[in-house]
Amino acid sequence: MNAIASARDLITRNLRQSGILVAFVAIVAVFALLNPMFLSATNLTNIVLQYTYILILAIGMVMIIVAGQIDLSVGSVVALTGAVSAVVVVKNGMPWWAGVLAALVVGLLVGAWQGFWVAYVGIPGFIVTLAGMLLFRGLTYVVLDNISISPFGKPYYDIANGFLNGLFGGYGYDVFTLVIFAIGVVGYAVAQWRGRQSKISYHQSVESMPLFVAKLVVVAAVVMWFAYKLATYRGLPVVLIILAVLTIGYTLVTQKSVFGRHVYAVGGNRHAAELSGVKVRKVNFWIFVNMGLLAAVAGVVYSSRMNAAQPGAGNMFELDAIAACFIGGASTSGGVGRVGGAIIGGLIMAVISNGMQLMGVSTSIQPIVKGLVLLLAVAFDIYNRRRAAALR
Amino acid sequence: MSTILEMRSIVKEFPGVKALDGVDLDVTRGEIHAICGENGAGKSTLMKVLSGVYPHGTYDGEIVYDGETAEFGSITDSERRGIVIIHQELALVPYLSVAENIFLGNEQRGRTGLIDWNRVNTEAARLMARVGLDENPVTPVNQLGVGKQQLIEIAKALSKEVRLLILDEPTAALNDTDSEHLLDLLRHLKGQGITSIIISHKLNEIEEIADRTTVIRDGSTIETIDMRDAGSGAVQDRIIRGMVGRDLEHRFPERTSVVGDEVLRVEDWTVYHPTQVGRKVIENASFNVRAGEVVGIAGLMGAGRTELAMSIFGRSYGRSISGRLYKDGKEIQARTVAEAIDHHIAYATEDRKTYGLNLIEDIRWNVSSAGLGKLAPRGWVNDNEEIRVAQEYRSSLNIKAPDVLSTVGKLSGGNQQKVVLSKWLYTDPDVLIVDEPTRGIDVGAKYEIYTIINKMVAAGKAVVVISSELPELLGICDRVYTLAFGRITGELPVAEATQERLMELMTLERDQPLPTKENVS
């Protein structure tokens, strides 16, 4: 196979993922052309700080959607967990980690509650979480006594607003950030290389060497450029580390673990999964517990970012998270979707919001644009899938 | 007699595949014309070309319908000319009434533009009478059986003034009575001048009903047989020969059985219906299967065959199950599917699309789905090993697909069935229960499935085959149990079994006494 045919084959096989990546790059390019500030160090850092919680929610949501369920309550859970954390840290004067811990425990309990109704009583997730959306919003009001609680104080505030920098010094840019990113890139390259070697040892076809190297070089260049941008501003945001760990961890869980496989099996054909020995109820229970946990993480990040817990926090977050999954190629009927796709879908939403704010587009126009983007992205995806199916 | 339809050298290409490579088809006005061919031979593609699913211009060749060149751009075009296709998977809306379904998309409007329900229901009743369906037109479709639903589809076709009726595997899901009724109806419609094209794998049925049969293989027409000229008996062999391109001397592969120790014994197995309180679905069933043995379970639809198998397989059917299971002489518990798999019991379902496969996933993931633990000793799947395993089964079971990353939903029935078998073979079963293993698959693939079963027993495993096709059971089993109304009514070594004898036992009613047991060993 020559290099061009090989490249075409790679793109065709991954059209579902690559299509959305192309869309993402195009959107970034449009905003970069419209406003030179868009790709500035300050703004890139801002995007990271501002939208991480949506991406965290999208990771949990994509697993729920792959299993053929939906979770409408995550916005309320973000508010509730933030509120609990505020009561612990601000009202009771306990340390920041106690607040985080309390939030996570509440998230797990919420998840177990919803998982119980979905998995063991057999109520559709849509209904259970619609009820949950009201329930946990109300509980937030109760916990907060209907008023905002703030401020959290320095260590808690730093979770979402802090940076790691200065450890190795630097001249106008932060060396530590560059080193961390470089380690990441090398790790990625090594993992790719080992995967390739392992495939070869199993006599599977792999992309040609020049293409493989070109792919690594492009990824490394983009990542290091991004790292340099961050380094010239304030360094490595703490939330980016949280997000990276979650993304890598959940990608592995969904793609490589038995549990992840079972999630896809349940979403693809519940009956067949059951008759193959998959414990469908357990799977449904644990994906909701997991969603509760991730919603709590998002709750901590969001309350930290706002430096306050507000009764109305997290409103409509569920829709952003769900939109991120569908833009990222998840299927409404379950069984299809990837963590990576949901992350890119979330980034598309984030970049559009940020880009429009930067250009001073009025807040009444912003939801219109986001709605259209959701529609067009999914239409684009369906078009690509049909083409891919025809090429097969 | 004039020709109603002529398709000349039809060629239809998909990227990389030539699905039709010069098919010719002549259909005479007022005849019943059968089309035979293995799965993947191109029958369905041909019918899609004819009905406009693949519009004019996407294929080469010429269609002459009713003396005119036809260039259908969509199904609507072909329906307007009186060509109606009824697919294997019925296209009825379950919660709508019979009448609503008949006129779906063709609503009878009154002068106000609103639906004239009296007219709809009267018209529907008239059409239902024509197809011999004695039901209230306002009954929701989901309250009727598959046989009656099939009749509704035909009534729907009649409402569109059908002149050429195409039926794709119409009797695949029907029992004998319903099939007979449907075939009678086709004859009746023929009397009214309606031409039918019937696609079927059931050769007995074709021999009974068709005037002529066109055999297709690998996208080309092999021959068109006039069923009146061909001598009866020989005609089935001729069709098979045409379909597979070789003489199929034996429909069942040879096997010398070496029977060993008992592997699985079921004793006093009683199962109650999951929702209807107090209704026994299986009553005191006892049977066993030994190493190297193929045991058949023969029963009519509703006898409890699938229910028996599924209740044994991790209690996946029924409630208040009582009885004992012995594996290799030791009593075991298999309360969940996972436990059953751990005891090396496997069950391949009769309904592979609903219960057997994840149709949106690829061959690889489907093959590994039941035995995933073997690929993931510490909870993490070795995906390269997984591909190797899938490739191994793809070649050893001859699954026809471009590669193991092909989506299972796009494979033919026979190849899907092989994926189901691969999935269970990978769990290393000592006992494999196969439920209607050859339903809806063609002659060539059937032979391959039998070969797979033979290989398993040759390796000292035990196989239980559930089937409603008695020749199949007689062809591949060592021993056959009969099941009737939830009771095991007899047990015969295959040497003593005949279709008549089995049928007698299979129709033994609940209040009739069991015959004295005919012992084998």
Domain count, chain A: 1
pLDDT reading at A26 higher than 60: yes
Higher per-residue pLDDT: B21 or A11: B21
- Per-residue pLDDT of A222-245, as tens digits, reads 999 999 999 988 889 999 999 999
Residue B500: inside a domain, yes or no?
yes
Q: What is the largest CA-CA distance in chain A?
A: 67
CA distances in angstroms from B470 to B22, B118, B204, B298, B514, listed in the order given = 37, 47, 13, 7, 21
Residue type, A15: L
Co-location of B409 and B444 in the same domain: no
Residue A228: inside a domain, yes or no?
no
Co-location of B26 and B119 in the same domain: yes
Strand order in the sheet with B68-69: B17-28, B3-14, B60-65, B68-69
> Which of A261, A272, A277 lies closest to B357 in CB terms?
A272
Kindly tell me the sign of the dihedral angle through the C-alpha atoms of B91, B97, B102, B108: negative
- Report helix angle A209-232 to A3-13, nearest 10: 60
Residue B83: inside a domain, yes or no?
yes
pLDDT at A16: 55
pLDDT reading at A181 higher than 80: yes
Co-location of B336 and B388 in the same domain: no
Co-location of B58 and B119 in the same domain: yes
Would you place residue A389 in the very low, low, confident or very high pLDDT band (cuts 50, 70, 90)? low
- Looking at residue B166, the DSSP 8-state letter turns out to be E
**Hey, which of A246-250, A326-330, A379-383, B47-51 has the most confident mean pLDDT?**
A246-250
Q: Going by C-beta distance under 8 Å and a sequence separation of 6 or more, which residues neighbour residue A249?
A: none
Q: Going by C-beta distance under 8 Å and a sequence separation of 6 or more, which residues neighbour residue B172?
A: B88, B200, B201, B439, B440
Would you place residue A286 in the very low, low, confident or very high pLDDT band (cuts 50, 70, 90)? very high
pLDDT at B520: 39
Domain of A123, CATH number, reads 1.10.3470
Co-location of B220 and B259 in the same domain: no
Testing the interface with A: which of B380, B420, B423 to mutate, by most A Cβ within 10 A?
Answer: B380
Domain span at residue B508 reads 250-344+429-521
Testing the interface with A: which of B355, B394, B432 to mutate, by most A Cβ within 10 A?
Answer: B355
Residue B140: inside a domain, yes or no?
yes
Residue A383 phi/psi, 5-degree rounding, is -60, -45
Q: Which residue of A has its CA nearest to B352?
A: A272
Asked if residue A174 lies in contact with residue A165, where contact means CB atoms within 8 angstroms, the answer is yes
Residue B157: inside a domain, yes or no?
yes
Token pair belonging to A335: 């069984």
* Last residue within a domain, chosen from B400, B427, B454: B427
User: Poorest-confidence range of B73-77, B171-175, B479-483, B505-509?
Assistant: B171-175
Contact B365 A269 (CB under 8 A): no
> Which of B358, B373, B385 lies closest to A335 in CB terms?
B358
Pick from A258, A257, A246, A220: nearest CA to A339: A246
Residue type, B27: V
Co-location of B267 and B305 in the same domain: yes
pLDDT reading at B519 higher than 80: no
Residue A171: inside a domain, yes or no?
no
Domain count, chain B: 3
Asked if residue B81 lies in contact with residue B66, where contact means CB atoms within 8 angstroms, the answer is yes
pLDDT at A1: 44
* Last residue within a domain, chosen from B244, B267, B290: B244
- Per-residue pLDDT of B248-267, as tens digits, reads 556 788 888 889 999 999 99
User: How far apart are the C-alpha atoms of A304 and A300, rounded to whole Å?
Assistant: 6
3-state secondary structure A52-80: HHHHHHHHHHHHHHHCCCCCCCHHHHHHH
User: Poorest-confidence range of A310-319, A337-346, B226-235?
Assistant: B226-235
pLDDT at A392: 46
pLDDT at B249: 57
Contact B316 A272 (CB under 8 A): no
- Per-residue pLDDT of A243-258, as tens digits, reads 999 999 999 999 999 9
Residue type, B60: D
Higher per-residue pLDDT: B227 or A138: A138
* Last residue within a domain, chosen from B217, B244, B271: B244
Asked if residue B387 lies in contact with residue A202, where contact means CB atoms within 8 angstroms, the answer is yes
Co-location of B256 and B232 in the same domain: no
- Looking at residue B353, the DSSP 8-state letter turns out to be I
pLDDT reading at A318 higher than 70: yes
Co-location of B472 and B509 in the same domain: yes
Whole-number mean pLDDT of chain B? Answer: 87
- Chain centre distance of CA A276: 31
Higher per-residue pLDDT: A79 or B401: A79
Residue A18: inside a domain, yes or no?
yes
What average pLDDT does range B194-214 have in this prediction? Answer: 89
pLDDT at A60: 97
Residue type, A314: G
Co-location of B259 and B239 in the same domain: no
Residue B146: inside a domain, yes or no?
yes
Co-location of B90 and B191 in the same domain: yes
- Looking at residue A38, the DSSP 8-state letter turns out to be G
Please report, rounded to a whole number, the percentage of residues in chain B having pLDDT higher than 70.
Answer: 96
Asked if residue B98 lies in contact with residue B120, where contact means CB atoms within 8 angstroms, the answer is no
Residue B434: inside a domain, yes or no?
yes
Residue B351: inside a domain, yes or no?
no
Asked if residue A83 lies in contact with residue A93, where contact means CB atoms within 8 angstroms, the answer is no
User: How far apart are the C-alpha atoms of B79 and B57, rounded to whole Å?
Assistant: 18
Burial class for A65, CB neighbours closer than 10 Å (0-12, 13-18, 19+): buried
pLDDT at A9: 60
Look up tokens 């799965």; give the residue.
Answer: B39
- Per-residue pLDDT of A60-105, as tens digits, reads 999 999 999 999 999 999 999 999 999 999 999 999 999 999 999 9
Residue A250: inside a domain, yes or no?
yes
Contact B402 A274 (CB under 8 A): no
Q: Cα angle vertex A137, ends A135, A141, to 5°?
A: 115
Q: Going by C-beta distance under 8 Å and a sequence separation of 6 or more, which residues neighbour residue A288?
A: A64, A69, A71, A111, A112, A114, A115, A118, A119, A125
Residue A205: inside a domain, yes or no?
no
Gap from A98 CA to chain B (nearest CA, Å): 32
Would you place residue A390 in the very low, low, confident or very high pLDDT band (cuts 50, 70, 90)? low
- Per-residue pLDDT of B312-323, as tens digits, reads 999 988 888 999
Please report, rounded to a whole number, the percentage of residues in chain A having pLDDT higher than 70.
Answer: 93
Token pair belonging to A321: 């998270």
Tell me, yes or no, if A276 comes closer than 8 A to chain B by beta carbon.
yes
3-state SS, residue A233: coil
User: How far apart are the C-alpha atoms of B339 and B333, rounded to whole Å?
Assistant: 8
pLDDT at A92: 93
pLDDT at B515: 76
Tell me, yes or no, if A264 comes closer than 8 A to chain B by beta carbon.
yes
pLDDT at B16: 58
What average pLDDT does range A145-158 have in this prediction? Answer: 91
Co-location of B340 and B391 in the same domain: no
User: How far apart are the C-alpha atoms of B164 and B147, rounded to whole Å?
Assistant: 21
Please report, rounded to a whole number, the percentage of residues in chain A having pLDDT higher than 90.
Answer: 69
Tell me, yes or no, if B335 comes closer than 8 A to chain A by beta carbon.
no
Higher per-residue pLDDT: A30 or B275: A30
Pick from A297, A289, A317, A290: nearest CA to A99: A297
Co-location of B92 and B142 in the same domain: yes
- Per-residue pLDDT of B415-468, as tens digits, reads 999 999 999 999 999 999 999 998 877 777 888 899 999 999 999 999 999 987
Domain span at residue A118 reads 3-165+234-391
What average pLDDT does range A24-30 have in this prediction? Answer: 91
What average pLDDT does range A108-117 have in this prediction? Answer: 97
Would you place residue A5 in the very low, low, confident or very high pLDDT band (cuts 50, 70, 90)? low
Higher per-residue pLDDT: B38 or B193: B193
Q: Cα angle vertex B269, ends B268, B270, to 5°?
A: 110
Would you place residue B500 in the very low, low, confident or very high pLDDT band (cuts 50, 70, 90)? confident
Through-space distance between the first and last CA atoms of chain B, rounded to whole angstroms: 61
